Amino acid sequence: MAKEKNVYFFGDGKAEGDAGMRDVLGGKGANLAEMTNIGIPVPPGFTISTNVCAEYYAKGKKYPAGLEKEILTVLKKLETVMKKKLGDPVDPLLVSVRSGSAVSMPGMMDTILNLGINDKSVKGLAQKSQNPRFAWDAYRRFIQMYGDVVMLVPHEKFESCLANLKKSRKVSEDNDLNAADLEFLVNEYKKLVKAHSKKDFPQDPLEQLWGSINAVLDSWMNERAIKYRQLNDIRNVLGTAVNVQSMVYGNYGNDSGTGVCFSRDPSTGENIFYGEYLMNAQGEDVVAGIRTPQKLSGLVKTNKKVYEQLVGIKNKLENHFRDMQDMEFTIEKGILYILQTRNGKRTGTAAVKIAVDMVNEKLIDKETAVLRVSPAHLDQLLHPMIDLNAQRSARVLSKGLNASPGAACGRIVFTAKDAEDWHKRNEKVLLVRKDTSPEDIGGMAVSEGILTSTGGMTSHAAVVARGMGTPCICGAKGVTVDAKHVSIEGKSFKEGDWLTIDGSSGEVYEGKLPLISRDISKDKDVTAVLKWSDDIRNRAVRGKIKGFQVRTNADQPSDAKRAFDFGADGIGLCRTEHMFFEKEKLIHFRAMIVSDTKEERKNALAKILPLQQNDFFGIFKAMEGRPVTIRLLDPPLHEFVPRDKKEIEELAKYLGIKVKDLMPKIEKLAETNPMLGHRGCRLAVTHPEIYDIQVEAISLAAAECIRNGIPVDPEIMIPIVVTARELKLLRPNAEKIIKMVSEKTKIPLKFKIGTMIEVPRAAIRSGHIAKYADFFSFGTNDLTQTTFAFSRDDSASFLVSYLDQKVLDVDPFKSIDEEGVGFLVAYATREGRAVNPDLKVGICGEHGGDPVTIDFCYRAGLSYVSCSPFRVPLARLAGAHAVLRNPGEGGGKPDVKKTAKKVAKKAAKKAAAAKKTPAGTKGKKTAKSKAAKSAKAKAAKGKAEKPAKAVKVHERTKPKAAGKIKPRAEKKAKSGGNKKKSAGSKKK
Ligand code: ADP
Ligand code: MG
Ligand code: MG
């Protein structure tokens, strides 16, 4: 067996890896290789693959055989390229050791700079560079990082050492310390290390190297990395790669520096070059907030040549990766180096703007643009802002950097832990801190907003908050935070006080201001993305099923109208109970349920009929001819029974009988377990008049609409069916009424009649039920309750423990349980369609608005999903993602009608033919672009279908027994910040 390659070199203009090798090299390593290959100035180095990390953990923290030799060999190569040797006392090679896994987890793991320096080589470095200050600065930084990360000396100890020195030297900035000061500091640091770890600081560069590699591998399993993966639902990633890279020095002096930049503004998405830098600084200084970084535009003055070169590289990288890039750079004595590039995390606003702009700039196609905007991004746009009127009259306490948009108000807490504790008590909290660090992400995730007194736009708080979609203000002026108290421009606040922040403007307000949400239906860019999403969904073809619709759950005309404005294709669930519960209707209904005779019951219901007819008319009108699924009465009779004395007296009076005669009738209606009791179509089996008057009201409303020129498409849905015989009995009743109204009004009426599948037995018997149903709608709330035998209302007490202890991966009421409930859905869909090929199938549970469930529904062959009006835009987008991510299901490039194989074949043929066609002819151009297009489609497909060998972000899908359904396609790597609860970090 050939030995597996574990280490990949990059440098001298070429690399052994490339951007496609993320899984093996990690994101950082793969892009360092890619940049090297395309001629970007990257300091040479090598990447130890993620397999090593996987093996390291599999073997109980031992390295794969032969790794040591491999590393020594590649290190030789690096020394040859750099013409320097590690540990050379005269002209030492120094390296950084950097982590980086396939899924970007910025700052969650450790990095060490200036490795290879020791008591001897520091002098060589000082001599060679003619810059002793720089050499001692490099050494003290190395001891600080290595001491912290490898030797586990708390970093505050180094900080206070440094602070003491500055105090005694009477200087305020690190940069004001001279070479002698720093040499002194190195000795102090070494003493500190010795005292703390009982070991001397290691002088052997190879020992340093292995110590650092170890530490980086260990950091894969540190608490904050684990928490980050949990928060972001990152699973089955092999591990971290380790990048060993020759150092370039931003701390040489004032002709050197370091910075972070974005090819477009990550907050607004505007196409402006954006970033921050510091002269005479190294690595982390920019983001650590030790000194306030300068705006990138200032670099034009500092060094125009370098700035222009950076602009060129930014353009090249953006064109190459066809996405907004987040880059790290270092300038060493006027020479520019790029240390990292990745697809930048961005706000929802920026995601939409960048996606649309890049389509207009012909950088990406519409499908890619749609995939670049995640449902979580869109969700952010629905984030509240401060009510304008309230804002005008409110006083701005302070202004800071608008680090993450959206407004938030909450009660002040000062630690991440407090944030979590208060959140558990259902308090809305606003985290107020000097700055944040990776340990704080748990508390940041539960905060409404974050306010820090220090730090820039690339500080930890800013990056994390943007990723999470949490409003955030950084570096707020005049804000001083101490233990449990904050003073804002002289005004004092304590824990628990209310504060409001506007992360879009950077303004801080006292108290609790009213927040309102923004109208995304009027936003041009959002509208464009949603329109493209609709096109993708509408063009999708899965066998006989055309399109993949998004409907809404709406009971009232006002909800229907809102959903319609949000772009709903119809109503998937219109509940009718409110049509009985309303005050003026309830008394009649109550009279009905206590009536003894059919006649009495009919009379009571007749009073409700015109009122219901009005309700239906309003809904039909709002939906302008789109399908409207109306569920006939569902809740248990029990719920209508009058309870208090006043209600009972009222009913007795209405009926003209005595209370004591009414009581026995009421008592008879009591149920021990109403949710499994007399409800749904069981009501119609015992009291057919109920559904009769509902169907009559629907029919009359429809007839009235048609008479007024309003098109209608009602679908009558019968709930809680368990056997085909219920439908066999009830369907003709409904048809009879429709026919009757049609004859009476002389308006032809034809409605679909179908059923909800919300009980396992119904799913199992779906093949029979489909004989009497024109459609199925999965009521997944009840189907989840009845499949699990968990009551949704009572499950909170144990579900948390189930999730904590991994008995369940996700709350089955939030995201569909694909293995159980999903199995039933897929099975019933297949069995139902086998009997009735035209069967329309949809979902109307709360799950219908969950992106993961939407993807499942697409794979399961559902015709539509239905969700609450506010989630309609998200579902439109998520539906398009489902289509694009599951090309095998008829998705992919939706305009490519034929199967991918056929197209690929044809394209290959054409491309071959094109080779023979003389250049410049039209034929060549078309063939080429088509071939390219299909190659791209194939690539997209490959990406989407890539088996989860290394990275698999979501993996909850194995409904194998359901047969025809494929597991959920790979979610694209989340480097675009595509997830609401994602985090960044202090380090960039
Ligand atoms: P993170 O993942 O936390 O961003 P990095 O590995 O990217 O950590 O490194 C942290 C900082 O150190 C970055 O600012 C990076 O640019 C800088 N850095 C890393 N390697 C080198 C190097 N070889 N020379 C100069 N600076 C480096
Ligand atoms: Mg790191
Ligand atoms: Mg970095």
pLDDT tens figures, 839-856: 999 999 889 999 999 999
Given 377, 423, 460, 588, which residue is catalytic?
460
Ligand whose nearest atom lies closest to the CA of 326: 3
Beta-bridged to residue 755, according to DSSP, are: 718, 776
- Pairing status of strand 429-433 against strand 449-452: parallel
Please tell me the distance from the alpha carbon of residue 669 to that of residue 648, in angstroms, as a whole number. 14
User: Which pLDDT score is estimated for 395?
Assistant: 85
The mean pLDDT value for 534-551 works out to 95
The mean pLDDT value for 880-897 works out to 70
Q: Are 898 and 854 in contact (CB under 8 A)?
A: no
Centre of ligand 2 from the C-alpha of residue 106, in Å: 6
DSSP state of 975: G
Please tell me the distance from the alpha carbon of residue 74 to that of residue 230, in angstroms, as a whole number. 35
Any ligand 1 atom below 6 A from CB of 248: yes
The mean pLDDT value for 63-74 works out to 95
Protein residue with its CA nearest to atom 27 in ligand 1: 283
Neighbours of 390 (CB within 10 A): 16
Any ligand 1 atom below 6 A from CB of 283: yes
Any ligand 1 atom below 6 A from CB of 233: no
Neighbours of 711 (CB within 10 A): 12
Q: Is residue 525's pLDDT more than 80?
A: yes
**Residue 460 is among the residues annotated as catalytic for this protein:** yes
Beta-bridged to residue 412, according to DSSP, are: 430
Q: What phi and psi values does residue 966 have, to the nearest 5 degrees?
A: -90, 150
Beta-bridged to residue 295, according to DSSP, are: 276
User: Which pLDDT score is estimated for 948?
Assistant: 31
User: Which pLDDT score is estimated for 890?
Assistant: 58
When pLDDT is cut at 50, 70 and 90, the band that residue 937 belongs to is very low
Protein residue with its CA nearest to atom 24 in ligand 1: 247
Q: How far apart are the first and last CA of the chain?
A: 40
Q: What phi and psi values does residue 713 have, to the nearest 5 degrees?
A: -145, 70
User: Which pLDDT score is estimated for 957?
Assistant: 35
- Pairing status of strand 407-413 against strand 864-867: unpaired
Q: What phi and psi values does residue 437 have, to the nearest 5 degrees?
A: -140, 170
Any ligand 1 atom below 6 A from CB of 447: no
User: Which pLDDT score is estimated for 800?
Assistant: 74
Protein residue with its CA nearest to atom 22 in ligand 1: 247
Q: Which of 117, 222, 328 to mutate to test the pocket of ligand 1 (most atoms within 8 A of CB)?
A: 328
The mean pLDDT value for 123-148 works out to 95
Q: Is residue 944's pLDDT more than 50?
A: no
Centre of ligand 1 from the C-alpha of residue 98, in Å: 7
The token pair that represents 301 in the structure block: 């003055």
When pLDDT is cut at 50, 70 and 90, the band that residue 783 belongs to is very high
**Closest ligand 1 atom, CA of 45?**
23
Please tell me the distance from the alpha carbon of residue 946 to that of residue 968, in angstroms, as a whole number. 11
DSSP state of 438: G
The mean pLDDT value for 355-364 works out to 98
The mean pLDDT value for 948-958 works out to 33
Protein residue with its CA nearest to atom 12 in ligand 1: 283
**Three-state DSSP state, 159:** helix
List Cβ neighbours of 95 (8 Å cut-off, separation of 6 or more). Answer: 45, 78, 86, 115, 116, 209, 244, 245, 246, 247
When pLDDT is cut at 50, 70 and 90, the band that residue 505 belongs to is confident
Q: Is residue 920's pLDDT more than 80?
A: no
What are the pLDDT digits (tens) for 717-763?
999 999 999 999 999 999 999 999 999 999 999 999 999 999 999 99
When pLDDT is cut at 50, 70 and 90, the band that residue 947 belongs to is very low
Q: Are 454 and 969 in contact (CB under 8 A)?
A: no
Centre of ligand 3 from the C-alpha of residue 466, in Å: 17
Of the two residues 128 and 953, the one the predictor is more confident about is 128
**Three-state DSSP state, 217:** helix
The mean pLDDT value for 879-886 works out to 97
Q: Are 47 and 74 in contact (CB under 8 A)?
A: no
Residue spans of beta strands (DSSP E) within 457-517: 472-474, 479-482, 485-488, 491-494, 498-502, 507-510, 515-517
User: Which pLDDT score is estimated for 401?
Assistant: 86
The secondary structure of the chain in percent helix, strand, coil, rounded to multiples of 5, reads 50, 15, 35
Q: Which of 218, 217, 242 is nearest to 100 (CA)?
A: 242
- Pairing status of strand 401-404 against strand 472-474: antiparallel
Tokens 């035209």, residue?
838
Protein residue with its CA nearest to atom 14 in ligand 1: 283
Any ligand 1 atom below 6 A from CB of 612: no
**Three-state DSSP state, 864:** strand
List Cβ neighbours of 213 (8 Å cut-off, separation of 6 or more). Answer: 48, 97, 242, 244
Centre of ligand 3 from the C-alpha of residue 424, in Å: 34
Please tell me the distance from the alpha carbon of residue 303 to that of residue 310, in angstroms, as a whole number. 11
Any ligand 1 atom below 6 A from CB of 43: yes
| Of the listed ranges 34-38, 533-537, 645-649, 760-764, the one predicted with least confidence | 645-649
User: Which pLDDT score is estimated for 54?
Assistant: 95
Centre of ligand 1 from the C-alpha of residue 189, in Å: 22
Please tell me the distance from the alpha carbon of residue 804 to that of residue 230, in angstroms, as a whole number. 11
When pLDDT is cut at 50, 70 and 90, the band that residue 915 belongs to is very low
Protein residue with its CA nearest to atom 18 in ligand 1: 283
Any ligand 1 atom below 6 A from CB of 75: no
**Residue 574 is among the residues annotated as catalytic for this protein:** no
**Three-state DSSP state, 360:** helix
Please tell me the distance from the alpha carbon of residue 828 to that of residue 830, in angstroms, as a whole number. 5
The mean pLDDT value for 18-30 works out to 96
Q: Which of 209, 246, 206, 212 is nearest to 10 (CA)?
A: 246
Q: Is residue 986's pLDDT more than 90?
A: no
What are the pLDDT digits (tens) for 418-436?
999 999 999 999 999 999 8
Please tell me the distance from the alpha carbon of residue 580 to that of residue 570, in angstroms, as a whole number. 23
Any ligand 1 atom below 6 A from CB of 542: no
**Closest ligand 1 atom, CA of 329?**
16
**Three-state DSSP state, 553:** strand
User: Which pLDDT score is estimated for 805?
Assistant: 85
Q: Which of 984, 943, 779, 956 is nearest to 851 (CA)?
A: 956
The mean pLDDT value for 293-317 works out to 95
- Pairing status of strand 479-482 against strand 485-488: antiparallel
Which amino acid, residue 712?
A: V
| Of the listed ranges 229-243, 718-732, 831-845, the one predicted with least confidence | 229-243
Any ligand 1 atom below 6 A from CB of 734: no
* Beta strands across the sheet bearing 491-494: 479-482, 485-488, 491-494
Please tell me the distance from the alpha carbon of residue 395 to that of residue 283, in angstroms, as a whole number. 39
Rg (CA), the chain: 33
Q: Are 233 and 978 in contact (CB under 8 A)?
A: no
Instruction: Share the mean pLDDT of the chain.
Output: 87
User: Which pLDDT score is estimated for 894?
Assistant: 39
The mean pLDDT value for 475-503 works out to 91
The mean pLDDT value for 544-564 works out to 91
Protein residue with its CA nearest to atom 7 in ligand 1: 988
List Cβ neighbours of 115 (8 Å cut-off, separation of 6 or more). Answer: 94, 95, 96, 97, 142, 146, 205, 208, 209, 212
Any ligand 1 atom below 6 A from CB of 106: yes
Any ligand 1 atom below 6 A from CB of 341: no
- 528: Cα within 13 Å, side-chain hemisphere: 17
Tokens 């008319």, residue?
617
User: Which pLDDT score is estimated for 891?
Assistant: 53
Tokens 């039209």, residue?
922
Any ligand 1 atom below 6 A from CB of 408: no
Q: Are 414 and 494 in contact (CB under 8 A)?
A: no
Please tell me the distance from the alpha carbon of residue 481 to that of residue 486, in angstroms, as a whole number. 4
- Pairing status of strand 240-246 against strand 45-48: antiparallel
Q: Which of 8, 13, 203 is nearest to 92 (CA)?
A: 203
Give the environment of ion ligand 3: residues with CB less than 5 A. Answer: 340, 988
Please tell me the distance from the alpha carbon of residue 264 to that of residue 622, in angstroms, as a whole number. 41
User: Which pLDDT score is estimated for 965?
Assistant: 59
Q: Which of 707, 718, 709, 700 is nearest to 629 (CA)?
A: 718
Q: Is residue 917's pLDDT more than 60?
A: no
User: Which pLDDT score is estimated for 662?
Assistant: 92
Q: Are 479 and 350 in contact (CB under 8 A)?
A: no
User: Which pLDDT score is estimated for 115?
Assistant: 97
- Pairing status of strand 257-262 against strand 274-279: antiparallel
Q: Which of 96, 345, 464 to mutate to test the pocket of ligand 1 (most atoms within 8 A of CB)?
A: 96
When pLDDT is cut at 50, 70 and 90, the band that residue 1 belongs to is very low
The distance of Cα 872 from the centroid of its chain, to the nearest Å, equals 17
**Three-state DSSP state, 98:** strand
Please tell me the distance from the alpha carbon of residue 648 to that of residue 651, in angstroms, as a whole number. 5
Ligand whose nearest atom lies closest to the CA of 328: 1
User: Which pLDDT score is estimated for 145?
Assistant: 94
Please tell me the distance from the alpha carbon of residue 408 to that of residue 419, in angstroms, as a whole number. 15
pLDDT over 90, % of the chain:
66
Tokens 């009005």, residue?
614
The mean pLDDT value for 433-452 works out to 91
User: Which pLDDT score is estimated for 567?
Assistant: 93
Any ligand 1 atom below 6 A from CB of 988: yes
The token pair that represents 794 in the structure block: 């009572």
Q: Which of 25, 94, 108, 113 to mutate to test the pocket of ligand 1 (most atoms within 8 A of CB)?
A: 113
Q: Which of 111, 224, 329 to mutate to test the pocket of ligand 1 (most atoms within 8 A of CB)?
A: 111
Which amino acid, residue 109?
A: M
User: Which pLDDT score is estimated for 288?
Assistant: 67
When pLDDT is cut at 50, 70 and 90, the band that residue 93 belongs to is very high
Largest Cα separation within the chain, whole Å, is: 109
Select the highest-mean-pLDDT range: 593-597, 758-762, 893-897: 758-762
Ligand whose nearest atom lies closest to the CA of 220: 2
**Three-state DSSP state, 256:** coil
When pLDDT is cut at 50, 70 and 90, the band that residue 911 belongs to is very low
Q: Which of 247, 332, 339, 341 to mutate to test the pocket of ligand 1 (most atoms within 8 A of CB)?
A: 339
Total residue length of the chain = 988
Q: Is residue 766's pLDDT more than 60?
A: yes
